[in-house]
Amino acid sequence: MIQSNSKECAILKAKTGEYIYKNGSEPNELYVLLKGKASRILNLYFDKEVVLFPGSIMGEYSLLSGQNRSSSVRALTRCEYVKITREAIIELTSDKPLSLLSFPKAMATEIINHFKSLEYGYEYFTLRNGESCVRPGDTPNDFYFLVKGRLRESRPDNGKLIHIREYSIPGATIGITRLLENKPHNSLITAVRDTELVRLDKAWITQLMRTNPSGIQNLIRISLHHEDIERSNDEAMAPKRLVAIIPLYSQVPINGFTSHLVESLRKNAKVRVLSESSIVKKFGKIHNLDLLSNERQNVWHYITGQETINDFVICIAKPNLSPWTRWILQQVDCILVVGHANLNCSGLTEWERTLGLYDSNSYLAEKRLVLLHKPNATIKDTRIALEHRRIGNAPVTFHHHIYEGNQLHYDSIARFLSGTAVGLVLGGGGARGLTHIGVIQALHELGIPIDIVGGTSIGSQVGSLVANEMPASQISQRMCSTYSYLWKTQFGRYTDLTLPYLSLTTGSFVSSNFQKFLNGNSRIEDLRLPFFCVSCNLTKVEPKIHTSGILWEALRASSSLPLVFPPFVSEGDVLVDGGYVNNVPADIMRKIYGANVIIAVDVGDNYHITMDDSINNASGWKILFDTTFRGKSCVNIYEVLLHLAGITDWVNQVSRPRPRRHHEEDLRS
């Protein structure tokens, strides 16, 4: 905006105590604070000043609405700021009315300024972490604007709360749809961290319609646009900009971990690192960060100010019960709990138990367990480390394995935090699934990273090797060994056949080969990259997503093509090939892991089968004779089952949401 309207902008300076603008003045410009500190004096609260830090935007709504200033801004120190004239704003918004949404902080601030000029109908307040502003069944008499912070929307389902989305963009609206529809709320909206909101009731909308009828149209348009942004960001894992890093033990090399992670983040973003010592240096020793304390307000405004001018703010906490540790873990978007494989990570530490980190409403931020390993060390016992940290209403939802000194592994975590993680999804398709290996080789040659892997049927088999970071050449050898061993073993081809009451084979050779060649005896949690695969649960009539457990069992379930192999029974559930419910589970990759970029490889056929009508009354022996000695072509039962799985999945895809942006490429050549 400044670059495109440079003639309409100017960089100015203000001395300490000098007013940038005063209450009641005409709104001909808006301002962006570049250096120094200023204070906004609200006309309704003369005894209270809001401290403004670099990056703060002032006077937006007054300029856009034409109303006189409803507050004054005074320099607390020597300040440098940008003045942008009304003409520049008009020029920008006349061509792109929604361009203001690219300045979410400005949108939030302008709305607040306007609220302060209203006589009634609004409430500006802070929702503490763990508190709720909307509950299921509430009558929609008002709605909310998000000023800063993060809210989580959940919906009750069979006694559990299902996470729907999170709101983090300043200016986002909450509850306006239900208010307009006059329907009771059906969700619970809770503050993940201290969140500033403005509540508006129906009287405010009535006043707006009377004084500015076109304003209500713009409000609804912007509100719905924000809601659409929040939905898409939730699907793509919105960036976690305020992050806490805390080691399980003081022996964990947390400084080295933080240094590597910041190096990865700074490749594409501006990062500020804060610690208890840096806060103490600025504000003095921290004694009290309880509700309404001056120390809490000062520190909070400083951190949110840093969040405004940086892409990421990394806050380092110590594994103790200090006021800083207790408080900062409540105020972030994401908590990275860092352990080391050489240390005992099996049970909860004393500080985790005392804080109630995983079962308290005070710590609702997303939690990721990061386990550090010595280079080339074997990853094991992840299940034990996760066991007690996946229980409660705020558990660890993701885990990462990092080899110390491998910067690429830190790059992967940085992509997760920035919402740019890359997911690879490999579909089922029988022997055609071996072509996945060529795609993997191409991705490697192009330098495209892979952060998460998922698959179905043979795609799950290849994907498990990718998740273990095996090169494409070794994957090719492993897959060929898996199936050549099955058929080349002496008498193996015949001894695995059985009376076709349940299936043509016993499945024992497949199971043993998965254990032998596909790292099958390890657990899914011990793979270097996050991994999942899909099977079809005939007992519960639903897809089953395998994200933990014995690897070979998950692969066996996902690849159990009916009639050819017997179903796999796990914990009483009868599981068969996942191709019948989700042959290319890209939607699961986005929904569960929030990958922003998904590379989905579909090796299924075009699902068209043609045969001569003489097949209607032919016996199997005749078909065998014709295909063997007369050169006639006919699909076999295995191909029919593969096509059936593909068609079933294709029908299911109709009801799945399409990605907002997608590109399809035919790779058959």
Catalytic residues: 457, 577
CA 250/CA 254 separation, integer angstroms: 8
Q: Which helix (H) or strand (E) holds 5?
A: none
CB 391 within 8 A of CB 419: no
Q: Which helix (H) or strand (E) holds 175?
A: none
CA 220/CA 238 separation, integer angstroms: 23
- DSSP secondary-structure letter at 631? -
By the 10 Å C-beta count (0-12 exposed, 13-18 middle, 19+ buried), 318 is classed as middle
Centre a 10 Å sphere on the Cβ of residue 159 and count the other Cβ atoms it contains.
Answer: 5
**Alpha-carbon distance values, 518 to 46, 439, 523, 529 (Å):** 70, 19, 11, 15
In which residue are the tokens 């209450």 written?
Answer: 23
What residues contact residue 14 under an 8 Å CB cut-off, 6+ apart? 20, 36, 38, 75, 78, 79, 80, 81
Collapse the DSSP code of 164 into the 3-class scheme (helix H, G, I; strand E, B; otherwise coil) and give the result. strand
**Alpha-carbon distance values, 398 to 72, 104, 255, 523, 531 (Å):** 46, 29, 22, 15, 11
User: Which residue type, as a one-letter code, is found at position 55?
Assistant: G
The angle formed by the CA atoms of residues 202, 205 and 208, to the nearest 5 degrees, is 150
**Alpha-carbon distance values, 511 to 87, 127, 572 (Å):** 72, 54, 18
Distance linking the first and last C-alpha atoms of the chain: 46
Number of H helices and number of E strands within the chain?
Answer: 22, 29
**Alpha-carbon distance values, 417 to 196, 239, 425, 449 (Å):** 23, 6, 21, 15
DSSP characters for 9-70?
A: EEEEEE-TT-EEE-TT----EEEEEEES-EEEEETT-TT-EEEE-TT-EESHHHHHH-PPPS
CA dihedral 27, 30, 33, 37 (to 10 degrees): 20
Longest CA–CA separation in the chain, Å: 99
